[in-house]
Structure 1
Amino acid sequence: MTASPDLDSPRTASPELLRSVFRQHAAGVAVITAAGERPVGFTATSLTSVAAEPPLVSFGVGTSSSSWPVLAEAGHIGVHLLGEDQPELAATFARSGADRFGPSTDWRRGPEGVPLLGGVVAWLVCRVVARVPAGDHRIVIAEVVHGDPSGGGRPLVYHQGRFTALRD
């Protein structure tokens, strides 16, 4: 058996190594929102279903993110699964300094006052139950309290550093 050249010369752990490896990992695209003095939100590819009973989800958020100060205090958050026709919305919520809740964004206040985005594949409103320190991020764990899976459509996916759609 011949060893793979990649296994013969492993790279030392670094932020760039982690980013390079995770560019190979396709992930669904979500937008996380919270209500503050002004609503906040960001694009996340770290959304995970944690448990069914009670229904829990988790996601990571950088403590240097402009959304973090509101998320650090929020009792409830919104989780929005984006559709393949929404790469612009994902880009808006991923871009630093963007007017995320401006006139071009379809949104309303939902249960618990959480900003809800229109036209998404599905959404949840969740009660934050924990914020776990993890390096320069926090892992937020939240319990689902409301939601709607009926938006339909195919999911938006993040792979190789870009938003894309699934292929048949």
Structure 2
Amino acid sequence: MPPVEAPGTLDAGVFRSVFRRHAAGVAVVTAQGPAGPAGFTATSLTSVAADPPLFSFGVSVRSSCWPTFSAASYVAVHVLGAHQQETAALFARSGADRFGAPTVWAPGPHGVPLLEGAAAWLVGRVAALVPAGDHRIVVAEAVAGDPHGPGGPLLYHQGAYHRLPDPSAPVPAQRSTGAV
């Protein structure tokens, strides 16, 4: 086992490398602001509590969408399906026109942008913005949602997107090899 570093001295590269080993679901988070819709790709989506229904995600205070999220009363989280790798990449790209073509979206509950084709989505009322280093943890109470979108999950692991099989897809019959 490698030596343990003293508290507070862990190299940022080591920290990022550890979390690259953690497979995470991929979500796009959106909000509506005075200048229009804003959104970003997140792997930090977490269920916080069931009663009341709370979820959280992290957003960098250095991101271009932070001003919109810092003032938003409502946000939407979209759990992306395996078919949405391009959407994940678009919303992760700095300077991209995230809500232009080919993105298909419409205003949802409380005016938040809802992306078409997500595996699932929630709209939440922002309950807290918790300081956490150069990020804020947004805690929101779910007020609307739909878990019935298409496809299996999209995952992020080791710096790349990955797909799991769609659990609702029929399992192909296996052929017998004739061996006993």
Structure-2-length-normalised TM-score: 0.87
Equivalent residue, structure 1, for 2:66: 68
Alignment of 1:46-57 (within 5 A): 46-57=44-55
For residues 128 and 115 of structure 2, what CA distance do their matches in structure 1 show? 24
- 1:98 is paired with a residue whose SS is coil
Task: After the TM superposition, list the runs of 4 or more consecutive aligned residues in structure 1 that deviate by more than 6 angstroms.
Answer: none
Aligned counterpart, 2:175 = none
Larger C-alpha radius of gyration, 1 or 2?
Answer: 2
SS in 2 for 1:128: strand
Matched AA of 2:17: S
Does the residue aligned with 2:36 lie in a helix, a strand or coil? coil
Aligned to 1:45: 43
Question: What does residue 26 of structure 1 align with?
Answer: 23
Shift of residue 10, structure 1, vs aligned partner: 4.2
Counterpart residue number, 1:4: none
Aligned residue for 1:84? 82
The reply to whether residue 8 of structure 1 matches residue 8 of structure 2 is no
- Equivalent-residue separation in structure 1 for 2:100 and 2:18 (angstroms): 34
Tell whether the 8 Å contact from 2:74 to 2:125 is kept in structure 1 after alignment: yes
1:30 alignment partner AA: A
Match of 2:117 in 1: 119
State the secondary structure of the residue aligned to 2:77: strand
Count of residue correspondences = 162
- Kindly report the root-mean-square deviation, in angstroms, between the aligned alpha carbons of the 2 structures: 1.3
The TM-score, its normalising length taken from structure 1, stands at 0.93
Residue type of the partner of 1:32?
V
- DSSP 3-state at the match of 2:59: strand
Task: Structure 1 unaligned segments of length 5 or more: list them.
Answer: 1-6
Percentage identity across paired residues of the two chains: 62
Letter matched to residue 29 of structure 1: V
Q: What is the rounded CA distance, in whole Å, between the counterparts of 1:14 and 1:77 in structure 2? A: 33
Q: Distance in 2 between matches of 1:107 and 1:167?
A: 26
The residue type paired with residue 19 of structure 1 is R
Within 2, Cα distance between the matches of 1:72 and 1:88? 27
| 1:59 CA displacement | 0.5
